Structure 1
Amino acid sequence: MEYETPLFFHVMEYADRAETDVIDMVSGNPDWEPPEALRTGLHEFADADPGRFQYPPSDGLVELRAEIADRRGVDIDQVVITNGAGEANYLAMARAMERNRGSEILLTEPVYPYYPGKTTMLGGTQRFVPTDETGQLDPADVRAAASDETAAIVVNSPNNPTGAVYPEETVRELVAIADAYDAILISDEVYDHFDLSGQFSSALGVDSDHRIVTNSFSKSLAITGFRVGYAIFPPELVANARSRHMLVNVAGSRPAQYAVLHALRETDPDYYRRNRELLRERVETFTDALDAAGAAYTTPQGAFYVMARFEGYPGTLANIEQLIDEIGVAGMPGDAFGDSRSDWLRFALVTPRVEEAAERLAQYFD
Structure 2
Amino acid sequence: MDYDTPLFFHVMQYAADADRDVVDMVSGNPDWGSPDAIGEGLHEYADLGGADFQYPPSEGLAALREEIAERRNVHESQVVVTNGGGEANYLAMARALERERGSEFVLTDPVYPYYPGKTTMLGASARYVATEADGTLDPEDVREAASEETAGIVVNTPNNPTGAVYDEETMRELVAIAEEYDALLVSDEVYDHFDFSGEFTSALSFDSDHRIVTNSYSKTFAITGFRVGYAVFPESLVDVAKTRHMLTNVATTRPGQYAVLHALRNTDPAYYEANRELLRERVATFTDALDEAGADYSSPDGAFYVMARFPDFPGTLENVERLVDEAGVAGMPGEAFGESRSDWLRFALVSPRVEEAAERLADYFA
Whole-angstrom distance in 1 between the partners of 2:71 and 2:268: 14
Aligned residue type for 1:219:
K
Whole-angstrom distance in 1 between the partners of 2:213 and 2:306: 25
Aligned residue type for 1:201:
T
1:161 maps to 161
Over the matched positions of the two proteins, sequence identity in percent amounts to 73
Alignment of 1:325 onto 2:287: no
Alignment of 1:131 onto 2:131: yes
3-state SS in 1 of match to 2:311: coil
Is the 1:4–1:116 contact (alpha carbons within 8 Å) kept by the matching residues of 2?
A: no
Whole-angstrom distance in 2 between the partners of 1:129 and 1:323: 30
Aligned residue type for 1:20:
R
Aligned ranges for residues 13-24 of structure 1 at < 5 Å? 13-24=13-24
Aligned residue type for 1:355:
E
Whole-angstrom distance in 2 between the partners of 1:44 and 1:52: 11
Query: Shift of residue 51 of structure 1?
Result: 1.7
Q: What value does the CA root-mean-square deviation take over the aligned residues?
A: 0.5
Query: Shift of residue 164 of structure 1?
Result: 0.2
Whole-angstrom distance in 2 between the partners of 1:185 and 1:10: 31
Whole-angstrom distance in 1 between the partners of 2:111 and 2:11: 18
Whole-angstrom distance in 2 between the partners of 1:172 and 1:195: 18
1:209 maps to 209
Alignment of 1:71 onto 2:86: no
Whole-angstrom distance in 2 between the partners of 1:50 and 1:38: 21
How many residue pairs match? The answer is 366
- Give ranges in structure 1 of 5+ residues lacking alignment: none
Aligned ranges for residues 166-181 of structure 1 at < 5 Å? 166-181=166-181
Deviations 1:204-254 (A, max 9, x none): 001100000000000000000000000000011101110110111011100
Whole-angstrom distance in 2 between the partners of 1:324 and 1:4: 23
- Post-superposition, which runs of at least 4 consecutive aligned residues in structure 1 deviate over 4 A? none
2:143 maps to 143
Aligned residue type for 1:2:
D
Whole-angstrom distance in 1 between the partners of 2:95 and 2:237: 7
Deviations 1:57-92 (A, max 9, x none): 011100000000000000000000000000000000
Query: Shift of residue 328 of structure 1?
Result: 1.1
Deviations 1:294-330 (A, max 9, x none): 1000000000000000000000001101111112100
Query: Shift of residue 49 of structure 1?
Result: 2.4
Aligned residue type for 1:141:
D
1:361 maps to 361
Aligned residue type for 2:199:
Q
Aligned residue type for 1:143:
R
Is the 1:306–1:346 contact (alpha carbons within 8 Å) kept by the matching residues of 2?
A: yes
Aligned ranges for residues 101-116 of structure 1 at < 5 Å? 101-116=101-116
Alignment of 1:306 onto 2:297: no
Whole-angstrom distance in 1 between the partners of 2:86 and 2:5: 14
TM-score with structure 1 setting the length: 0.99
Whole-angstrom distance in 1 between the partners of 2:304 and 2:229: 19
Aligned residue type for 2:43:
H
3-state SS in 1 of match to 2:351: coil
2:243 maps to 243
Query: Shift of residue 150 of structure 1?
Result: 0.3
Whole-angstrom distance in 1 between the partners of 2:58 and 2:286: 43
Whole-angstrom distance in 1 between the partners of 2:343 and 2:242: 41
3-state SS in 2 of match to 1:194: coil
3-state SS in 1 of match to 2:56: coil
- Give ranges in structure 2 of 5+ residues lacking alignment: none
Whole-angstrom distance in 2 between the partners of 1:59 and 1:18: 43
2:118 maps to 118
Aligned residue type for 2:201:
S
Aligned residue type for 1:111:
V
Query: Shift of residue 282 of structure 1?
Result: 0.1
Whole-angstrom distance in 1 between the partners of 2:236 and 2:198: 33
1:193 maps to 193
Whole-angstrom distance in 1 between the partners of 2:303 and 2:132: 18
